[in-house]
Amino acid sequence: MIRVPHHFDPARATTAQEVAAAALVARNTDPSTKNAFNAAPLHLREVDDAYVATRSLFGQYDPVAVDYRQVLLPDATGREVFTSMHLYHYWDGTGVAYARDYWGKRLRWFAFGCPHPEHTIHRCPGCGHAATIDSSG
């Protein structure tokens, strides 16, 4: 895992790990933005705790890259304000991020990257064995 500093220049990546992390971060960043290190990642959407616990790779796998950005997001009044976010990029192109909502006294969770099709998990009530069925076709 590489921690991506805000001033990281992907063109100067030297190790294989830096190159892989730079590619992941670039894949989740809109190339039309001039100041990419503070741009919202692609497909950014706010999610709840249940999503993070059951449908993300957070806590299951180590992130490939950890990123910090200040992204313009609407606050509770609908006004856009810079929001400090910590982003966790995973090997499959997805990621989760959190932002601290000081006034709301909570963490706001976000998902980003490709919203992969859902998989169905079947669990045996007798022994607890679980099997995942890929429902993506």
Please report which confidence band the pLDDT of residue 78 belongs to, taking 50, 70 and 90 as the band edges.
confident
Please report which confidence band the pLDDT of residue 21 belongs to, taking 50, 70 and 90 as the band edges.
low
**Which of 15-19, 22-26, 45-49, 91-95 has the highest mean predicted lDDT (pLDDT)?**
45-49
Length of the chain measured in residues:
137
Give how far Cα 121 sits from Cα of 21, 54, 63, 73, Å.
30, 11, 23, 34
Q: Domain count of the chain?
A: 1
Rounded to the nearest 10°, the torsion over CA 1, 119, 55, 130 is: -90
pTM: 0.67
Please report which confidence band the pLDDT of residue 137 belongs to, taking 50, 70 and 90 as the band edges.
very low
Mean predicted confidence (pLDDT) in 120-134: 65
Q: Which domain holds residue 74?
A: 2-134
